[in-house]
Amino acid sequence: MINNILEQNDYKDLISKQVEEVITYLLRNNKEFSITANLDALKFNPELPLGVKSQLAKFSLYILSNYTYTTAKIENGFLSFEAGFGSENFGSVVNVPLYSIFQIIIDDSILYLNPIATVDKFNKDPKSKSLNVFKNNPKNQDLIK
């Protein structure tokens, strides 16, 4: 029964609007926050090195504070921000579809919880899945540049 609701596009749109309103409120009131988001739906620009990305959990924590917080913005259904990753602090702009944000956290407390972020139907890109299989094959490393 609950899957009938969670997998509807109308419900996903409703949740996206709620997430946008909560984050807009936090940004407008200068409140730093963290999110956990479904890695399957995120886009990185530039793309993270494979060694760094492979270390990220499916639901990774992103702390929006200091410089990262100042770069945070919401546009066209996405939260974007600049962040550094790995021991080299590899810089990338993270584009997070609002529906893929699982939790919004303030001071180690969950402010908002979004069950849509766990629905594979919305968070998996079939093209990227096959591309990742291609990239993860060691025989193809010379072709990836």
Alpha-carbon torsion (7, 8, 9, 10), positive or negative: negative
pLDDT digits (tens, 9 = 90+) for 20-48: 999 999 999 999 999 999 999 999 999 99
pLDDT score at 129: 47
Is the bond into 46 cis (omega within 30 degrees of 0)?
yes
What is the percentage of the chain residues whose pLDDT exceeds 90? 68
Q: Tokens representing 29?
A: 């009131």
Q: Return the pLDDT at 111.
A: 97
The phi, psi pair for 65, rounded to 5°, reads -145, 165
pLDDT digits (tens, 9 = 90+) for 60-100: 999 999 999 999 999 999 999 999 998 889 999 999 999 99
User: In whole angstroms, what is the distance from residue 56 CA to residue 42 CA?
Assistant: 12
Cα–Cα nearest to 72, from 113, 111, 24? 24
Q: What are the structural domain ranges in the chain?
A: 2-143
Over the chain, what is the mean pLDDT?
Answer: 87
**Would you say the pTM of this structure is higher than 0.85?**
no
Residue 1: predicted pLDDT = 75
Predicted pLDDT of residue 138: 58
Instruction: Work out the burial of residue 135: count CB atoms within 10 Å of its CB; fewer than 13 is exposed, 13-18 middle, 19 or more buried.
Output: middle
Whole-number Å distance between alpha carbons of 120 and 82: 25
Task: Supply 141's token pair.
Answer: 């490393």
In words, the CATH class of domain 2-143 is mainly beta
